């Protein structure tokens, strides 16, 4: 039986979804070939895989929008499937009414309750409304809208008042409110800020039904889901645990596959060598023929392809004297209405600053001020005389010329450079020969983002301002961006909903709140807890200029902290050395012989224990670094 079955193969054993031997192709290219998976009811699953592998297509197959070619997809007979609609709400209805209408059963019952006359039907309607908790609906809808960044006043405004990105949030709020049995979310954080993304993580972790989410947000895939469904080479594999656990398991499996492939290659070469030597020799012909048949029967073990290097290469600026930018008593805003006032800020060339703050508080306004896109309304703003600033914002991706190629974009900015040099610049951002000559309108979202990042950094800026740079970038590209920003010799100011990126890049945190910008004295995890605590005070733990100065730390205490830091470093080095030795041991192909399975299990356990030890040691080292820095301040 082929197709999407309601109830077929689904019992009461707690399985929400069965994908069995699924086959599907688009324009002759196979996306799924014998793919199978079983998702238990109530599980939160992250769907990951290379761009173009077919993740969004799988969602369309699950919703029944596409017909499977082979195999079957089975769901419980009355299961409700929900996802964010392609057509976002844009009518005169208020945000609140739009979200309430997303629960179609409640809306229909409420409408029928107005006209029903028969006593038994009225009773049925009221009973069902009570069962689905219809009377608390407005409160639940308001909680979701508030979590996604809307104020009480905005909830009463019509959808038509809001931009496309904000209407996407309303559409997301609607499907969350409807609480389908199987919730399908495709990159839900792309239209959210950090606060909205963290709220969504928390909401999904508590969601009462099954969730499958396509995401490149490593934080969400670690905190909101309990399993990873990996789509690769037209197959589906379910891994228990968050993304980091999946990544470690996958790396170990790839090491085993690579070792097996090397072992088979050696055996194949040995057999082929015998055939080549003795095929023409009468006394060995039968043996050569036998080995030739063995070669034909050997199923090739394909070693895991190395993930394409998703590079970013930022040009290095010359060094300027500090500070490169200073603000004293500066105000900035729009139409003579200041958004931020009394800004006293300083940026040096080695700064890595993350801007924190709820949506609408002024993060983008501050970014535009620093980038020179907005003029100060008052106060003094001092820039280094040779300061160059690079600015990337998500809207710039939409402003690219869709009918031009990346090569034409960069040639316009560098008309005197030879074409090989221009192509080298594009390759430095992962845009290879094929993409260089492809019209921008046909590039993927990630490729467009790479082109915009290249154009923003072409002049080797001393200060690079990035407003949501990771939208449309896959996980590998985000890791490459972290590496590039870490190696970059200019200052960086970041606005991002990607906690993983912020945690690895930023070493200073500024809170934009209440018309002011102040240092956030705690770490990102504390900020996350602050955002998810409803009763948190408005100012959080931002710096306060009236706070009494700390007492200076004695030299004895500093010496003890430095000694502790050295011990932590030595512990990390020792564990990393043990890890490398074990990895070398596990790379020995002889260890994977069937007769040595127990020995392999022992070495795998030791490797896992050492990896846990490395994680703990690195955490202690980070604490020691922080303690010493705090004491020195």
Runs of H (alpha helix) within 179-305: 194-206, 218-223, 243-278, 285-297
pLDDT at 13 over 50: no
Residue 625 lies in a domain: yes
For residues 184 and 621, the model is more confident at 184
What is the spatial distance between Cα 586 and Cα 573, in angstroms, rounded to a whole number? 20
What is the spatial distance between Cα 410 and Cα 195, in angstroms, rounded to a whole number? 35
Cβ distance 459 to 386 under 8 Å?
A: no
Reported as a pLDDT band with limits 50, 70 and 90, residue 541 is very low
Ramachandran angles phi, psi of 236, nearest 5°: -120, 135
CATH at residue 518? 3.40.50.300
Residue 537 lies in a domain: no
Share of the chain above pLDDT 90, in %: 42
Same domain? 525 vs 562:
no
Reported as a pLDDT band with limits 50, 70 and 90, residue 558 is low
Residue 559 lies in a domain: yes
Residue 405 lies in a domain: yes
Same domain? 458 vs 376:
yes
- Which residues are paired to 261 by β-bridges? none
Contacts of 235 (CB under 8 A, 6+ apart): 32, 33, 34, 35
pLDDT at 244 over 90: no
Reported as a pLDDT band with limits 50, 70 and 90, residue 577 is confident
Reported as a pLDDT band with limits 50, 70 and 90, residue 373 is very high
Provide the domain count of the chain: 3
- Residue 11: per-residue pLDDT: 44
Residue 262 lies in a domain: yes
Contacts of 78 (CB under 8 A, 6+ apart): 6
Give the SS3 label for residue 343: strand
- Residue 300: per-residue pLDDT: 54
Nearest-10 crossing angle of helices 285-297, 243-278: 160
Q: Which of 277, 297, 317 is the last residue of a domain?
A: 297
Inter-residue long-range contacts of 394-398, CB under 8 Å, 24+ positions, other chains counted: 394/467, 394/468, 394/471, 396/452, 396/456, 397/445, 397/448, 397/449, 397/452, 397/472
Same domain? 462 vs 575:
no
Mean pLDDT of 440-464: 91
Share of the chain above pLDDT 70, in %: 83
Same domain? 579 vs 627:
yes
- Which residues are paired to 236 by β-bridges? 231
Same domain? 394 vs 437:
yes
pLDDT at 535 over 50: no
What is the spatial distance between Cα 159 and Cα 166, in angstroms, rounded to a whole number? 9
Give the SS3 label for residue 632: helix
Q: Token pair of 127, please?
A: 């009973």
Mean pLDDT of 542-564: 54
What is the spatial distance between Cα 517 and Cα 231, in angstroms, rounded to a whole number? 43
- Residue 320: per-residue pLDDT: 93
CA gyration radius, the chain: 29
- Residue 109: per-residue pLDDT: 87
DSSP for residue 282:
G
Same domain? 494 vs 606:
no
Least confident of 24-28, 129-133, 349-353, 414-418: 129-133
Reported as a pLDDT band with limits 50, 70 and 90, residue 625 is confident
The CA-CA-CA angle for residues 474, 476, 480, to 5°, reads 115
The mean of the pLDDT values for the chain is 83
What is the spatial distance between Cα 231 and Cα 214, in angstroms, rounded to a whole number? 11
Ramachandran angles phi, psi of 286, nearest 5°: -65, -40
Torsion sign, CA atoms 12, 16, 22, 26: positive
Q: Which of 313, 316, 393 is nearest to 349 (CA)?
A: 316
Same domain? 413 vs 270:
no
- Residue 433: per-residue pLDDT: 86
Most confidently modeled range among 80-89, 352-361, 389-398: 352-361
For residues 423 and 621, the model is more confident at 423
Same domain? 518 vs 392:
yes
Mean pLDDT of 275-300: 61
Same domain? 272 vs 354:
no
Torsion sign, CA atoms 6, 8, 13, 19: negative
Same domain? 504 vs 597:
no
Structural domain for 597, as ranges: 555-632
Same domain? 462 vs 425:
yes
Residue 257 lies in a domain: yes
Contacts of 482 (CB under 8 A, 6+ apart): 500, 501, 504, 505
Length of the chain: 633
- Residue 177: per-residue pLDDT: 93
Most confidently modeled range among 328-332, 555-559, 567-571: 328-332
Same domain? 390 vs 293:
no
- Residue 33: per-residue pLDDT: 93
Q: How far is CA 5 from CA 16, 17, 83, 283, in A?
A: 12, 10, 19, 61
pLDDT at 102 over 70: yes
Mean pLDDT of 212-217: 94
Residue 187 lies in a domain: no
- Residue 261: per-residue pLDDT: 63
pLDDT at 428 over 80: yes
What pLDDT, in 10s, does the model give residues 481-524? 988 898 899 999 999 999 889 988 898 999 999 999 999 988 88
Residue 9 lies in a domain: no
Q: Token pair of 599, please?
A: 């020995």
Least confident of 84-98, 493-507, 598-612: 598-612
- Residue 258: per-residue pLDDT: 67
Mean pLDDT of 127-143: 82
């Amino acid at each position: 039986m082929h197709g999407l079955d309601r109830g077929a193969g689904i019992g009461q054993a707690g399985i929400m979804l069965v994908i069995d031997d699924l086959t599907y192709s688009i324009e002759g290219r196979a996306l799924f070939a014998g793919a199978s998976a079983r998702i238990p009811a109530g599980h939160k699953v992250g769907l990951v895989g290379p761009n173009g592998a077919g993740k969004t297509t799988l969602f369309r197959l699950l919703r029944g929008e596409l017909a499977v070619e082979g195999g079957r997809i089975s769901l419980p007979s009355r299961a409700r499937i929900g996802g964010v609609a392609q057509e976002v709400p844009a009518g005169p209805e208020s945000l609140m009414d739009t979200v309430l209408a997303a629960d179609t059963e409640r809306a229909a019952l409420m409408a029928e309750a107005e006209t029903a006359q028969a006593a038994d039907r009225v009773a049925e309607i009221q009973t069902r409304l009570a069962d689905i908790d219809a009377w608390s609906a407005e409160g639940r809808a308001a909680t979701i809208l508030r979590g996604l960044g809307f104020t009480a006043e905005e909830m009463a405004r019509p959808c038509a008042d809001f931009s496309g990105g904000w209407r996407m949030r309303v559409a997301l709020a609607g499907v969350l409110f409807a609480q389908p049995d199987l919730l399908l979310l495709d990159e839900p954080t792309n239209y959210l800020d950090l606060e909205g993304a963290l709220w969504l993580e928390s909401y999904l972790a508590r969601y009462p039904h099954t969730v499958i989410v396509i995401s490149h947000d490593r934080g969400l895939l670690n905190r909101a889901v309990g399993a990873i469904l990996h789509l690769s080479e037209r197959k589906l594999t379910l891994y228990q645990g968050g993304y980091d656990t999946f990544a470690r398991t996958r790396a170990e499996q790839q090491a085993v596959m690579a070792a097996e492939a090397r072992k088979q290659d050696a055996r194949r070469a040995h057999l082929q060598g015998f055939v080549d030597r003795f095929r023409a020799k009468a006394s060995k012909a039968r043996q050569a023929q036998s080995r030739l048949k063995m070669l034909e029967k050997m199923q090739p073990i394909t070693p895991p392809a190395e993930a394409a290097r998703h590079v970013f290469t930022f040009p290095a600026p010359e060094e300027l004297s500090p500070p490169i930018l200073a603000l004293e008593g500066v105000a900035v805003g729009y139409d003579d209405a200041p958004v931020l006032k009394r800004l006293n800020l300083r940026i040096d060339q080695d700064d890595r600053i993350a801007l924190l703050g709820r949506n609408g508080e002024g993060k983008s306004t501050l970014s535009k001020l620093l980038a020179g896109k907005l003029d100060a309304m008052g106060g003094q703003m001092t820039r280094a005389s040779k300061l160059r600033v690079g600015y990337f914002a998500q809207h710039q991706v939409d402003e690219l010329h869709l009918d031009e190629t990346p090569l034409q974009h960069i040639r316009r900015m560098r008309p005197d450079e030879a074409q090989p040099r221009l192509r080298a610049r594009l390759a430095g951002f992962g845009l290879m020969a094929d993409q260089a000559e492809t019209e921008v309108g046909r590039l993927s979202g990630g490729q467009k983002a790479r082109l915009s990042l290249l154009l923003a950094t072409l002049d080797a800026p001393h200060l690079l301002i990035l407003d949501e740079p990771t939208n449309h970038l896959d996980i590998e590209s985000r890791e490459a961006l972290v590496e590039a920003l870490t190696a970059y010799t200019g200052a960086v100011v970041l606005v991002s909903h990607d906690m993983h990126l912020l945690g690895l890049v930023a070493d200073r945190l500024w809170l934009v709140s209440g018309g002011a910008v102040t240092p956030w004295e705690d770490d990102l995890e504390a900020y996350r807890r602050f955002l998810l605590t409803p009763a948190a005070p408005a100012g959080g733990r931002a710096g306060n200029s009236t706070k009494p100065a700390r007492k200076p730390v004695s030299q004895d205490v500093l010496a003890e902290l430095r000694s502790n830091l050295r011990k932590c470093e030595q512990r990390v080095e020792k564990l990393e050395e043990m890890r490398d030795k074990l990895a070398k041991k596990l790379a020995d192909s002889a260890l994977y012989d069937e007769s040595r399975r127990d020995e392999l299990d022992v070495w795998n356990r030791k490797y896992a224990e050492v990896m846990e030890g490395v994680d703990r040691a690195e955490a202690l080292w980070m604490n020691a670094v922080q303690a010493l820095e705090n004491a020195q301040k």
